[in-house]
Structure 1
Amino acid sequence: MGEDFFQYLPSEIIVDILSRLHTLDAMACKCVCKPWLVLLATPEFVNSHISRSVPGLAVETHAKTYNVIQFVDEIDLNFDEQHRLNVDFYFELPFDEPMHSSANGLIFLCGDDHDDLILCNPITNDYIKLPCPRQTSPKDLIYVETFGFGVSRMTGQYKVVRIFGGTSLQKEYKNECQVYTVGTGSWRKVPPDSSLWLYETVGGVFLNGNLYWTVEKATNGSGRWISCFDLETEVYSSFPTPPYFYPDVLFGKTLCVLRDCLCVSDLSDDGTGSIVIWLMNEDDQCFVKELIIIPGFGYYFDHYLHVWPIRVFENGDAFVEADGDLFYYSNTSGTFDGDLFYYYNKSKTYTLTTMYASSFLSLKSFVMENVSSF
């Protein structure tokens, strides 16, 4: 009965129905019949599914095994902060490299030594090993190197951006920038912003077709800035960080995405050790102080602080990643719990968690790439 019913439905109706299913259920539909297997690989289904895919938090809890965590906003009388973390599903990857970032279900992995650069989709089980970028100077002269991954707004091209800087023979710092457009098979050199110095090796933050890094102006004493690389035009721009950016604390995760806005986390300047969260209005690139959380949190660590607010709830509670742990902050009690999850990979170079939304986009659609399966 059900089979006959679907036989008479237009393909666009079937696509609309299947794209609303949970990821695991949609994967099972590929095994129902050959027409559905073909249908779930079409751009119509892939794009419809991506538009409805809800981002979760990907956490490596065992070697090469990632749990995708969904957030629960509802609060009832039996509320327990542990119940706000629901494991939606998990996937396994055959790579040793840590997860760097994700866009539209494609995951970019990059090790600390940056030798292997991998792009994969755990839903379609295919991956690409990107060619090594061509060096324009000896590797021992590179002072700092960082990558970013995202998709352009208009053309929908997926790009990996490499920014690196070092000293020339005259001991002068200089930036270089290379871009790998997925589907071309090669890296291109693009003009860098020579007025900016990379602040550290933390990867670029992707939001709305742009990659962002924390940088310093080449002019001494000008303070921290944010560098923006437009993936469509491949042009740089820059703007200052929030006005009370704490100057003496080395933050590893100053930048992230929160509530679909660029976010900066900072220590308050009132001596309380609280974390201040700033959100940027993208129209005028102006930061607005969102809230202050976790009084005394900054004093919990005896070395430099990496902070990334993951989710802030309507009642002021928050999930925050800091120095290798996931913390839950209760706005009511003013306390925080750091025993929510065990991280297998505790890299200091990259974020330990990544926002991930599943998709059925196959890397085999990029015809110029050497795609393998796992």
Structure 2
Amino acid sequence: MASAVDQAMGRVRASGVLYVEGARRRALALDPRAAQLWADLGDQVGGKMLRPRLTLAAYLGLGGDDLDAVVPVALAQEILHTAMLVHDDVLDHDDVRRGRPNIAGATRARLAAEGVAPEVARAQGDAAALLGGDLAIAAAVDVVLRAPLAPAVATEVVGLLVRSIHTTVAGELLDVAASSELPGRTDALLVAELKTATYTCVVPLLAGAALAGASAEARDALTTYGLHMGVAFQLVDDELGVLGDPAVTGKSVLSDLREGKRTHLVALAHALADDAQRRTLDAHLGRPDLDATDAARVCAVLRATGAVDALHREVDARVAAATVALDSLPAPLRDHLAERARTLVERSA
């Protein structure tokens, strides 16, 4: 089954390139800056392509065989993901994604080269990122509406995309508000479920299931799997954000610490810490000027308290629960998703 998904992914990637290039050319008739924004947005599409892979897996594994129908729906999942990343980078004040400038960073760099004042370049970079994310949200819906789908199926898939946005925004709001609260005050697992699990795993799987005409039992199984796997995925992501190798992740380990993100890892460390360790966490988390030396002190506390080990136990439990949920699904899909679960939590980027 993995080979079938890989082959279909070739079409998803090609479709994405064609869509962005078409949009860029149409935008060029309006203004060169609009065309540049589409080009920058296209540069952000890529990475693991997890979400379209899940859509393809669910569709093919549940008996679907019309690639013309599923490829646009799979592409929509990745375009929506790109929108979320672009907006998330604005919230986090990041100029880099996957080791290269994001929309805001690329815009600021061009303006700086033109001699534009730094404060103006910063404001325009943020504006470009916000607008680029908006374009991507609209594009995700547009791709589905252009697909050769029955009207009822297209309506269901668009509804799933809307559900993704609503749920993710709720999670992002909790995440942003948590930075001003004590670690553990906000339920970081709920944030992970809302901010990541629904749009990363649940909705892509359900979109594929909708196209395949799957039973309610199959959809329930995919939902349970997706919720557990999405949370596990976010927990691993949080760990890599502060303890990963920037050369591999493409993101600075200082970013989340400077933002003071109240992740589940931070909550565990705060709960397990002694007084001295808790003072270290409180002194450095959320410091905009945090340097590598003090970041290393925080990371040492995360390890010494046993928080990292506790996080790994939570991830293992989530993977186990996700795998059990697959029992009622056809064997090829069950085996494929079980293997996907293992690779997601064993990654280094």
More helix by share: 2
Q: Which has more strand, going by share of residues? A: 1
Per the normalisation by structure 1, the TM-score is 0.24
Larger Cα-atom Rg? 1
TM-score by length of 2: 0.25
